[in-house]
Structure 1
Amino acid sequence: MAPAEDDISIDEKRVYAGSAGRTDAYVATGAGVVRVSLSADKVGAFDMVARDPARDVAVLSRGDGAADLVAAATPDGLAVAAVGDDPEFALVDDCPAVAVGATGARDGSLLVAREDGAVGRVELQGGEEGGPSAAPSTTRLGSVAEPRAVDGALVAGAEGVYRAGEDGLTDVGLDDARDAAGSGTPLAATGAGLYWLGNGWMTAREGAADAVAADGDGHAMAVVDGDLLVHSGAGEWEDETWAVADLPVDETVVALGYGPGVSVVVTGVGTLCVDAGDGWRHQVVGVREVAGVALADVEEDE
């Protein structure tokens, strides 16, 4: 088992990260948020950084010297912390949330789906020490029946996929959407299959698709009929451009994420697998009820 984060000094973290840099993977679980430090495909320390149940997690990149933020959708509301060595999560509202994602818009906002189906854009102003303020600006965009996932401007729900815009939500089709990827070519995982948006929704792979993620540069992963599929990175998205990944563990993948140069998957029994281009490595984190993963690029202190 990796050493506890408290047992690793800042200098040791810097040596560990080396020239590859450090990426932190934040994993949402029923017990809280777990942070796992990565350097390329090397898995380092991990620790619990929030101890309240989390249903989803997202990283919001900000410019102008402001610290990037990690946001967790929780039964008590939206909890946010600044990315860094000692993230301190704090609730910025008290409306139960089920899914959260960075919109990718210039305003640096989050798209949040609530337990009652409401979907809104949340803008977090700067607070003390580069963290978020406790008084975000929230704009309600509409509602979705049984929202399940948010990514970019896309919301996946029981009745299909919706796109968030300035004037509200637009139904863009499909049914029983379980996940969506809004970076680059839109992708959707549904009970009937994996789809990509071209001239309408096109079938990439038939079967029960439960999760999908993309990096915006043609790389993508999806879970279909229990298999982890990896997209080749080519410009096409048909069935033949996807291949089953050979993971080092025989476990069901439930969460997918991309970071700078790395692909990360987390299984239902708490094993984290990472690929930086030379094959998959894994580390047993030992958490259950995994609900999501998001990756943050960490700038080391001098």
Structure 2
Amino acid sequence: MSDHDISIDEKRVYAEQTGTETLLVGTDRGLAAVAISGDQIGEFALLTTTEVRDVAVSDGTAAVADREDVRTTDAGRNAVGGDPTFTETGFGDAVAVGYDDDTLLATGPEGRVAARDGDVWDDRGIAPEARRADGSLLATVDGVYRVTDDDVVHAGLDDVNDVSGAGPWAATDDGAYRLGNGWLAERDGRATAVAARADHAAAIVDDTLYEHDGDGWRERACPLTDLADVDYGAGALYAADSTGTVAVDAGHGWRTRTIGLPGVAAVAAVADER
């Protein structure tokens, strides 16, 4: 079913009952925001026009890593149809960004890792060729790195494409791994993205979306191909492909919408105030 088949009044009532989220989509052409209500995909807007490498969220605030700077924004609150504010942090060119609790971490293309302390960046160490970040973890060509209060330490694996601080989980060229008594192989294949929430995890492995529900992995038949990223929202699973189509499944099957922005690098869901 297309979202255009649903009346405006029906969408309004549904939004009042379920609440809304904003899906932030980092692309080659900038940061886009897509309004989501349950499994209804609404309007979208292009918020920036600089290539985005990574996106992270914490308590309604988002951080965006692009080739010019790390910018923080309240985009989750009023991104579509509003006037979100973006604040430059002075980090410079960034390839990965994440929140460790409420501490903002960023990594540059040369491997510099720093934490935001008030209005300044505090250098923590070096992590070569970082790809993604989540929590205190960095996914790099050399494996997983963990950012501590005063250092950046190698935490295992190799050729890591993505990490989830919840779990923790890692997506590598050899498969999806979960941290237990060391890193435990959970799913073979080339894993390019991973996300987790509570006792659920989702991973893109060999361009197929899988979900772990605590008992084991199962394929989540997704209408997209060439999958770029996946994330959990409040009661929904989101996915996006490299060409700029987003999909949401809130328990009633997938719905999709094309936003027409290719080169998707990352997605992140932000809960809106009701």
**Please, what TM-score do these two structures have when normalized by structure 2?**
0.91
**Partner SS for 1:196:** strand
For the Cα contact (< 8 Å) 2:32–2:47, is it kept in 1? yes
Partner of 2:181: 199
For residue 101 of structure 1, report the CA deviation from its aligned partner: 1.2
Which of the numbers 45, 48, 51 marks the counterpart of 1:50?
Answer: 48
Residue 241 of structure 2 is matched in structure 1 by: 267
Residue matched to 1:22: 20
Question: Judging changes above 3 Å, is the alpha-carbon distance between structure 1 residues 46 and 2 closer, same or farther for their aligned structure 2 residues?
Answer: farther
Gaps of 5+ in 1: 62-67, 126-135
Alignment check: 8 A CA contact 2:25 2:268 kept = yes
Map of 1:118 onto structure 2: 112
The correspondence of residues 1-302 of structure 1 with structure 2, limited to 5 A, is: 15=13, 17-61=15-59, 68-83=60-75, 84-85=77-78, 86-104=83-101, 108-123=102-117, 136-183=119-166, 185-215=167-197, 217-232=198-213, 234=214, 241-249=216-224, 251-300=225-274
Q: Compared with structure 1, are the counterparts of its residues 227 and 121 closer, same or farther at alpha carbon in structure 2 (3 Å cutoff)?
A: same
Q: CA deviation at 1:75?
A: 0.5
Bigger Cα displacement from structure 2, 145-154 vs 94-103:
94-103
1:215-262 Cα deviation digits (max 9, x unpaired): 1x0111111111111112x1x5xxxx111111123x111111111111
Q: Aligned with 1:166: secondary structure?
A: coil
**What is the rounded CA distance, in whole Å, between the counterparts of 1:152 and 1:94 in structure 2?**
18
Q: Specify the SS of the correspondent of 1:173.
A: coil
3-state SS, counterpart of residue 47 of structure 2: strand
2-structure distance, mates of 1:120, 1:114: 9
Q: How far has the Cα of 1:200 moved from its partner? A: 0.7
Instruction: State the percentage of identical aligned residues.
Output: 37
Distance across 1 between alignment mates of 2:107 and 2:161: 14
Q: Determine the C-alpha separation between the residues in 2 that align with 1:14 and 1:71.
A: 29
The whole-number CA distance in structure 1 between the counterparts of 2:37 and 2:24 is 14
Instruction: List alignment gaps of at least 5 residues for structure 2.
Output: none
Cα 1:89–1:15 change in 2 (3 A) is farther
Query: 1:287, CA displacement in angstroms?
Result: 1.1
Give TM-score, length-normalised by structure 1.
Answer: 0.83
**Distance in 1, Cα, partners of 2:11 & 2:112:** 41
Q: How far did 1:279 drift?
A: 2.0
Q: Please provide the CA RMSD for this pair.
A: 2.1
